[in-house]
Structure 1
């Protein structure tokens, strides 16, 4: 593990690569697009990309560090994000081609952020210290991931059933019989109220990485009347699994990993409630 971790770039390098990735994507991009482009630029191996981050639910170590790299760039004023996790290079940096990661680390608005990252502080401690936490690694997500992992298998299938209904699926049914060949449920997806597709889904509570063999096994379980397969996991998907799912010569499989699953639960308010709070500017009251 230690030798693998040495292959993962430090935050200063990832800050530079994240900015380069956004430039390459046309100045804006979603989390997964930025992560994929950064990995491509760095030529990281699949083994390195699969190293899990111990304290952050289903995130890999590289995606965890890239999440913080975006936060460092945001604190520096180089990028900004919308509520839909779309990151954009700010107007002030529109003509800036490259950034200096070490300089940004040294001049970060939240100086204690870098120290906390170097000390491997837990996110809850950072939050208490008033540090802005990336959405992907906020403590409530880690806690929810633990709850999902500990759920009864059939309860998790029913939760998935509810989520798919909220996403627009109809006639969603959980398969109760054993030996169903990997299919945990079926449903219909209607597009624009006209076109409908028969779908089958498999939902697995994994803490690790789903590989290509699991995708192939699921695809092999699909009957001829199934037009779309959806593989849902609380873990993550390996690069090979993603490539296998989108193989142009085979039936396409849509993938929902743990981070997206948790995001959807929050979006539809399923077992999750948003709590609004206020940050106190103590310096303001001292100087008024």
Structure 2
């Protein structure tokens, strides 16, 4: 059998294997109730990562399923569908995000039953469809989203409940980071750590994946302590092995560990990072990395805009007509 045929068969097997894994994931509409219940079990509020981890644990998805990329990445299919579930639960009035990436259960969310979910979803999607049709009628030349709500692809630019611009800049920023040379990425990480309060950041090794390892000194007020860090440029999920490897490298070098990736972490990796009795390892995924670069204005410029909401008070004019 020729090498070309072997490669073709292997690629076909990979595609079939991924399709089998994706088939194990329910659609985001079937994740509404599990997401709501997971958030309630967490005490009624949680970050994206905490909530994702809780749902993954409830559903029992394997690391292989968790690692499936959505499209070409960098996000995973699990994250994508759970983000959709959060967005729809918010639209249905069952969740609120008091600040970005922190979610809370509303009073209504605590009162609903599982049988209420489908009717609430139907009412919400019907309302969204009417809003789209109204926008299309008022601005027919404007590019609009498809009217169907049956697929998460239809509104992927609002998947995290943020503005279109917010979603776009993160995707663009991560693409830029993935395209950087190893040397430029090394400089970026050192600059970020120093801007964030490290008094030093020394690169000790360079990975074959374009990532870097190093040791830094973190300064917090009157205290300073060594931190061993690893930065991985990847579009997929980083597993528990990376956390254990960093912890092993920390011996005699750092009191804390910092693991940064442009991708995501599996739930097992997050659990291992805070395991009782083991040196702590802080995790920074791609979204958090973007936030830090924005916070410290490293390659990201933020422009504040003021928006006016103008309403005509017709009762004022009606009052002028009265004798």
Same-fold status (TM-score > 0.5): yes
Shift of 1:105: 2.9
Aligned counterpart for 2:232 among listed residues 204, 227, 250: 204
Q: Is the 8 A contact 2:76 2:237 kept in 1?
A: no
Query: Contact 1:72 / 1:104 at 8 angstroms: preserved in 2?
Result: no
Relative to its length, the structure with more helix (as a share) is 2
2:128 aligned to which of 99, 105, 110:
110
Q: Does the C-alpha gap of structure 1 residues 213 and 80 become closer, same or farther in structure 2, counting only changes over 3 Å?
A: closer
Aligned partner (choices 80, 84, 89) of residue 105 of structure 2 = 89
Structure possessing the higher relative contact order (Cα contacts under 8 Å, 6 or more residues apart): 1
Match of 2:284 among 238, 256, 273: 256
**Is 1:37–2:54 an aligned residue pair?**
yes
1:68-96 C-alpha deviation (Å, 9 max, x unpaired)? 11111111111111234211122344433
**SS of equivalent residue, structure 2 residue 226:** strand
- TM-score normalised by structure 1 residue count: 0.80
Aligned-CA RMSD value: 3.6
Q: After the TM superposition, which segments of 4 or more aligned residues of structure 1 sit over 6 Å from their partners? A: 134-137, 176-179, 277-281
- Following TM superposition, by how much is the alpha carbon of 1:98 offset from its aligned partner in structure 2, in angstroms? 4.4
**What is the CA-CA distance between 1:268 and the residue it aligns to?**
2.7
Q: State the TM-score, normalizing by the size of structure 2.
A: 0.72
Query: Any gaps of 5 or more consecutive residues in structure 2?
Result: 1-17, 133-144, 313-323
1:241 aligns with 2:274: no
Alignment gaps of 5+ in structure 1: none
Where does residue 170 of structure 2 map in the other structure?
141
Residue of structure 2 equivalent to 1:61: 77
The aligned residue for residue 320 of structure 2 is none
Query: How many residues are matched?
Result: 278
Aligned residues of 1:183 and 1:218 also touching (Cα < 8 A) = no
The CA distance in 2 between the partners of 1:64 and 1:257, in whole Å, is: 15
1:75 aligns with 2:91: yes
Is the Cα contact below 8 Å between 2:68 and 2:236 reproduced in 1? no
CA contact (8 A) 1:73 1:104 kept: no
CA drift at 1:60: 1.4
Alignment CA distance shift 1:280-1:5 (3 Å): farther
